[in-house]
Structure 1
Amino acid sequence: MNRNRIGALTSTATLLAICAAVHSIADAQQSNVKSDQQPSFTQGEAQTDITKLYQWTGNNPRTANVGTIKSADGAEWTVPAKTHFKSATKAADLYNEANGVEPDGIADVDLEAIPLLDAGGDEIFTVYVFGDNYFEFYVNGKLLAVDAVPMTPFNSSVIRFKANRPFTVGIMGVDWEERLGLGFEKFRGASFHQGDAGLVAVIKNTTGETVAITDANWKAQTFYTAPLKTKKCLVLKGGIRDSSRCSTEDAADGTSYFAAHWPIPENWAAADFDDSDWPNAKTFTNEFVGVDNKPAYTNFTDLFDDSKTDAQFIWSSSLVHDNLVLMRTTIGK
């Protein structure tokens, strides 16, 4: 064998060894990618790919837009979130001013008229959800339905589905924004107002027994946090992404504020997804969330605020800053 041939084989072998090593490192890094992944930061307002998902023209008219923004590391992020709003089944209305569905209470709701969705099972369950602002509802990784209204008017939803216990519920919650990429909304003349969020849910079986409520036993992890006056206010430690120490004051001009983003795991809603390093959900009182003037909630306090099984508003570390939050629990385990 000539020297050139030997050299070529050696170079090829070396290259293959290097590639194998790189793939080994990449696989190891991928297997270790958990909630301690550092965020990508963006600064300023999203200016590209702005599209309108929904517009409310009644009292307090709002437009729910979505757009994209690039971070300093070259990653592109959809803000406030990538959703299935246009393609997925819309959750039935419990109370929705936009569709003229305004019952005085649960006794006025015809539950049998609600479509029955199949999550792979025989037992029938009904979930009632009030989310500020938008949610997507999964069972065992299957998307069943999404909120009918991304932003306003404030609405509540009801979903009926079939499943077998144990089953895992995943809910994506989005606090919508009007200054895309900044987390601000326009409120009572303020162009840079820091809005808040929160979600409450109750799941019942066909006998009316409550089988699950939102509480501190759920897991909740944030994937988009804004507005951040400074990056330093974020506390990042292991799976903790804590923005509760960040300023909640409105700004005269928030165009230079920052946002933190993390990629969403593809199988985050699956039953076998490992959420052990996710923090538990934080709970918030009705007064803190501010639902006393929202009939989509107050018309159903006997449901959401049952004295024996009182569901709580949950979110991640901050109702104000955390705009995209994934929440999970397993029922009947």
Structure 2
Amino acid sequence: MNFITQIFNILNDQLLKMTWLYDIVKLLVEKVFRLDYSSKLGGSVHFFIYDTIKIFILLSVLIFAISYIQSYFPPERTKKILGGIKGLKGNILGALLGTITPFCSCSSIPIFIGFTSAGLPLGVTFSFLISSPMVDLASFLLLMSFFGVKIAAVYVIVGLILAVIGGTLIDKLNLEKYVEGYVKEIEDVDVEVEEMTREERISYSKEQVKEIINRVWLYILIGVGIGATIHNWIPKSVIQNVIGQNNPFSVLLATLVGIPMYADIFGTLPIAEALFGKGVGIGTVLAFMMAVTALSLPSMIMLGKVVKPKLLGIFIVIVSVGILIIGYLFNIFSYLIV
């Protein structure tokens, strides 16, 4: 068992955490840029270069792999899978299928419209809408590289639970009448799903890598820049006073700060890493990440075009309360996973 653990730790360090890249960038900062690695400026430059390269390498590899898997589950096939299942099982399946779709919150809205127009239960579509931008296999592996297995697993599990509970509550409240009429009137065309060849799947996966990187590269750079600033320039005492464990409103503040932002989880991770490194509670960090990915202001504006204000408000309240509960509970029981 010890041998297996050692092999896993080596693979985790070299493939996910990329300690080899960390050391190379450290040499680059010290030998080429002539900066003291332990200084604020040198540390910031190292953080920015190392995290940026690491995220783009992991992102390219993981999105390719996830997209290859996703090629077996196009929206048409997903609709067919979800169409015959209702109730709690449907919510669970909707949340799980959301994990194999590497969409940001805004790009999930058209899929949501397609599912709704196809007559899928509203609760199932909302479970999908919550989990799709927040939880996927790529984010799990990226989280492992930043925070380790326990925290990555916790994030995925609580994200799925939130998606299932949120969808179930919306289903029980019978809110179908609050979906905009034109969405229901959209003709659902039953497109025959064509099987792709291996070459087509590889080509599709490459295109997905290009598309997603083109969509998120700026947010990644911004996120890494903010993370580098927090990590090296903002004193730990300031962070602790604002959103540290001693502030009872830390989770609420992190959630409110996260909502107006628009970024994939890939752009959020460097900020979360820096906050965690400054001693911010894991529950507060999770709340921030979930608010950014599930409740971003642009996606709520888009969702407001397809559902009426009452349904939008209920959705925001359910997800926000869920995020707050998750954040406070994990701050209280952080000693179990950190």
Which TM-score tier does this pair reach, normalised by the shorter chain? under 0.3
Structure of larger gyration radius: 1
TM-score by length of 2: 0.28
TM-score by length of 1: 0.28
Larger strand share, 1 or 2: 1
Larger helix share, 1 or 2: 2
